[in-house]
Amino acid sequence: MSSLREYSDKELFLLIKCRDEHAFTETYRRYWAMLFRHARRMLRSDDDATDIIQDVFATLWSKADQIEPEISVSSYLYASTRNRVIDFINKGKRHDYYVSSLQEFVNKGSFITDNAVLEKELKSRIEKEIAGLPPKMRKTFELSRKHHLSYREIAEITDTSEGTVKKQIYNALKLLKPKFGINFFAFFFFFIR
């Protein structure tokens, strides 16, 4: 793999399109830190920036054959990072609006029993799906989302690397999201504490 360090970005990208894992690893090595700093400056969160960069690289790998070869790798990666950060921030604005609307609804006393029943059913369904995750993935996911621990703290508790922790959480979300869609994330972050 050391010989790939001398390859141009374009040469690496052509190899990635041919599913060359070493070329992908070299591209990841070249750009991860720069993209992380770029996302971190905008988000002010190591965890969110890391999640976004992981997603950018996962998309590069999975959709490399759909990306035009004339596009430079650095331009693609920076544009993808910027777009994901913007999407993340926009979702955050909707999230803040939803939370304030929900709080106003509760404060007015309009929170009726039907909603409590629906909430309990959804929570039970989510817990069941989380319980169905592989044991290590489940433990990592619960430490992150229920106990609000950082990747570093989880890595120390589980005696694994931060990279493994990030991958476990990414995979858990990837498995759970299609089952619940936006309802899962809205409910999970508001009610499971």
The pTM for the full model equals 0.48
Question: What torsion do the CA atoms of 44, 48, 192, 98 make, to the nearest 10 degrees?
Answer: 70
Structural contact between residues 56 and 35, judged by C-beta atoms closer than 8 angstroms: yes
Choose among 66, 46, 42: nearest CA to 54. 46
Report long-range pairs for 34-39 (Cβ below 8 Å, ≥24 apart).
35/77, 35/78, 35/81, 38/78, 38/81, 38/82, 39/81, 39/84, 39/85
What pLDDT does residue 121 have? 67
Those residues of the chain that have pLDDT short of 70 are: 1-2, 69, 93-122, 179-193
Domains of the chain, start order = 1-108 (1.10.1740.10), 112-193 (1.10.10.10)
What pLDDT does residue 56 have? 92
Across the chain, which distance is largest between two alpha carbons, in Å?
67
What pLDDT does residue 161 have? 93
What pLDDT does residue 103 have? 59
Identity of the amino acid at 135 = P
The tokens describing 119, both together, are 């909430």
Structural contact between residues 192 and 142, judged by C-beta atoms closer than 8 angstroms: no
Report long-range pairs for 57-63 (Cβ below 8 Å, ≥24 apart).
57/24, 57/28, 57/32, 58/170, 60/16, 60/24, 60/27, 61/16, 61/24
Choose among 44, 40, 15: nearest CA to 28. 15
Report how far residue 55's alpha carbon sits from residue 142's, in angstroms, rounded to the nearest whole number.
21
What pLDDT does residue 50 have? 92
Report how far residue 176's alpha carbon sits from residue 31's, in angstroms, rounded to the nearest whole number.
29
pLDDT digits (tens, 9 = 90+) for 30-44: 889 889 988 888 888
